Amino acid sequence: MQIKKSELKDLIKSIFEECLDEDEISEINVTANVQGYSTPHAFSKKNKSHKDREKKRAEVFDYKTTENEKSNTIKLNEGKSLYHIFRDHPDLLPEQKVGVAVREIRKLVSEIDKLLNVSSRYKGESKVHTSKMWKTTSKHLLKIDEKLKNISRKIKELR
């Protein structure tokens, strides 16, 4: 049994009119099955812990936060080099500054070591041959090797 297009339209109209008469629908929504966006905190106010975390992150890098939210929330120490910010930091003694810096360096080097271990293991397991690597990868490895030699020299000077 084939139904013509005009007959189908008439059938749909009649069914729709019956529904309107029975339920007295005042509004029809056609977006009921559309999936919404996942933004649970899009319209919530910033809570105090968020501001505290923001302030702590800024202070780690010796930035200062401002209360005026319309302007930038972080003031930069423009025109000062990292050395001058490090040298002029008022909260720590010189011995403490060097100790904190060495501790941070140790943490970063351990992260690099972990990443190198994972990369080396994956290269071995997936049997990636050195000749198959990108040209830039080899260049980057040479630069890393040079930097590590330079770092080793600076560590010896620091002792």
When pLDDT is averaged across residues 98-123 and rounded to a whole number, the result is: 89
Give the count of domains, the chain: 3
Domain limits for position 114: 99-128
Report pLDDT digits (tens) over 44-68: 665 666 667 666 666 666 666 666 6
| Secondary structure of residue 147 in the 3-state scheme | helix
Q: How far apart are CA 126 and CA 66, in angstroms?
A: 51
Report if residue 10 sits inside a domain.
no
Q: Are residues 123 and 143 in the same domain?
A: no
Q: Are residues 53 and 86 in the same domain?
A: yes
Q: Which two tokens stand for residue 53?
A: 């975390």
Backbone angles phi, psi at 127, to 5 degrees: 55, 45
Q: Are residues 123 and 134 in the same domain?
A: no
Q: How far apart are CA 108 and CA 130, in angstroms?
A: 27
Task: Find the range with the poorest average confidence among 1-15, 40-54, 88-102, 129-143.
Answer: 40-54
Q: How far apart are CA 99 and CA 10, in angstroms?
A: 84
Position 143 confidence tier, pLDDT thresholds 50, 70, 90: very high
Tracing tokens 């977006």 back to the chain, one arrives at 31
Report if residue 38 sits inside a domain.
no
Q: How far apart are CA 14 and CA 27, in angstroms?
A: 18
User: Which of these, 42, 87, 37, 41, lies nearest to 62 by C-alpha position?
Assistant: 87
| pTM over 0.75, yes/no | no
Report if residue 138 sits inside a domain.
yes
Q: Are residues 120 and 134 in the same domain?
A: no
Q: Are residues 137 and 118 in the same domain?
A: no
Report if residue 68 sits inside a domain.
yes
Report which residue type is found at 3.
Answer: I
Tracing tokens 């002029």 back to the chain, one arrives at 88
pLDDT at 153 over 90: yes
Q: Are residues 105 and 117 in the same domain?
A: yes
Report if residue 18 sits inside a domain.
no
Share of the chain above pLDDT 70, in %: 61
Q: Are residues 79 and 63 in the same domain?
A: yes
Q: Are residues 87 and 53 in the same domain?
A: yes
Report if residue 150 sits inside a domain.
yes
pLDDT at 78 over 70: no
Report if residue 69 sits inside a domain.
yes
Q: Which two tokens stand for residue 83?
A: 């050395």
Q: Are residues 156 and 122 in the same domain?
A: no
Position 149 confidence tier, pLDDT thresholds 50, 70, 90: very high
- In this prediction, residue 48 carries a pLDDT of 63
Q: What is the DSSP string of 30-95?
A: S-TT------TTTTSPPPHHHHHHHHHHHHHTT-EE-S-SSS-SEE--TT--HHHHHHT-TTS-HH
Report if residue 106 sits inside a domain.
yes
